[in-house]
Amino acid sequence: LKDYSEKGHRVGAALSIISTYMTVSDEMADPFLKTVQRGLPYIMNSMSIGGLTGPYSMSSLATLAQAEALFGLVLGQLIAPGIKSINAAMPTIADMTRKDMPMMFGSISNTMLNILLAELNIYLGIPTCQSSCSHHCDTLDDEAIEKSKIIFSLVLQYDFHILRHMFGFSSQLNDFSIENMEKQIDLFHTVVSNPEEVTLPAPAEYDPEGLDVIFEGFERRDFRNLDHTLRNIGRSFVG
């Protein structure tokens, strides 16, 4: 990457310095240091999962994801002041109502969570790159097309720098293909001129217990069976 950068190519690295529970990943420490010490741009990933490795409410999960990403951004600036870095906090939500607890990548709630972080970073003046999938079906069938229209329409209502995972992905990000991506890009351009009317769930409220729950989950190394999580199943992250 350094060699390509010196030749004038616009390259950088995607990194995640935090593993889970705000602990530094030993495996990522060396790649992070090598990237930053070479002055290469980087995006700082943060992938806390609501209900599993993060709290199960909107404001608390956004808080944890933002803290993880900001740690990596600040650490990079301390080592190489002025280095180009992007906040790529991309929290996801586990569907705690299902036995296998799959990720709710294509849900309205997950999209709104990432839009919230994009808007927050715009407000703070931080370059931002959040994640928002376009549907949560297993394949790009007729139902997935309709769900994609809703998510595309929702994203268009808000400001954002970059939202990734918008095209070609299924519920578990395992059905990607160039053909699906091209279909969804064409669909997005259609939605731009004729967006769907999106009915949002009830507005998320600030969770006054959020910070305490974060520390409780850290102590237990698990958020699944916390009273806070069990109370919010079916109430938080609906839709």
**Three-state SS string across 70-105, please?**
HHHHHHHHHHCCCCCEEEEECCEEECCCCCCCCECC
pTM above the 0.85 mark? yes
Query: How far is 144 from 199, CA to CA, in rounded Å?
Result: 17
One-letter amino acid identity for 205? Answer: E
Q: What is the pLDDT at residue 160?
A: 80
Query: How far is 90 from 18, CA to CA, in rounded Å?
Result: 13
Mean pLDDT by 10 residues, the chain (239 residues): 91 91 92 95 94 96 96 96 95 91 88 93 93 85 92 90 80 77 94 91 87 96 95 86
Question: Any bridge partners for residue 94, and if so which?
Answer: 103
Contact present, 56 and 223 (Cβ < 8 Å): yes
User: How many C-beta neighbours within 10 Å does residue 215 have?
Assistant: 12
Contact present, 1 and 37 (Cβ < 8 Å): no
Q: What is the pLDDT at residue 172?
A: 64
Give the H or E element holding residue 189.
Answer: helix 178-193
